[in-house]
């Protein structure tokens, strides 16, 4: 009985360890998983972008996690590489967070 209990605990630990590893990989793999959907991507349209300075201006819908209504505004970009392939007028879905006091796009997806 004691052995069985220890085994169960080990299995549970192993499972939670795995899901933790998966969630830590999330920012690296912005694929359409259940977790990504739960992070409430926001609809937007590219109005301006500057890959040199890492600035993007988006006309965006409500951003619940920033308590922000729809507007057009500039964002920092978490990684300038994220702007690769985007151009003015592109429809996007994105995730924004406050990073060091600045509204920063942390995820950016093209909408086809």
Footprint on this chain of Cu ion (rule: CB under 5 A): 68, 71, 73
CB of 73 to Cu ion, least distance (A): 4
CB of 74 to Cu ion, least distance (A): 9
Query: 26 or 47: whose CB is closer to Cu ion?
Result: 47
Q: How far is the CB of 52 from Cu ion (least distance, A)?
A: 22
Q: How far is CA 73 from CA 2, 21, 49, 80, in A?
A: 61, 34, 11, 17
User: What would the two tokens of residue 75 be?
Assistant: 């964002």
Query: Quick check: 96 and 89 in contact, CB under 8 A?
Result: no
What is the smallest separation between the CB atom of 28 and Cu ion, expressed in angstroms?
Answer: 26
Residue 92: exposed, middle, or buried by beta-carbon count in 10 A (0-12, 13-18, 19+)?
Answer: buried
| Residue number, 58 or 83, with CB nearest to Cu ion | 58
Q: CB-wise, 26 or 43, nearer to Cu ion?
A: 43
Of all residues in the shown chain, the one whose CB is closest to Cu ion is 73
How many residues in total does the chain contain?
112
């Amino acid at each position: 009985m004691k052995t069985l209990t220890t085994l169960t605990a080990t299995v549970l630990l192993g499972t939670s360890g795995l899901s933790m590893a998966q969630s830590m990989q999330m920012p690296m793999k912005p694929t359409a998983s259940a977790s990504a959907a739960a992070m409430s991507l926001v609809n937007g349209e590219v109005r301006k972008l500057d890959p040199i300075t890492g600035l993007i201006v988006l006309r965006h819908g409500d951003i619940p996690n920033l308590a922000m209504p729809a507007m057009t505004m500039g964002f920092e970009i978490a990684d300038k590489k994220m702007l690769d392939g985007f151009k003015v007028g592109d429809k996007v879905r994105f995730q924004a967070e406050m990073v060091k006091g600045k509204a920063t796009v942390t995820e950016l997806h093209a909408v086809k």
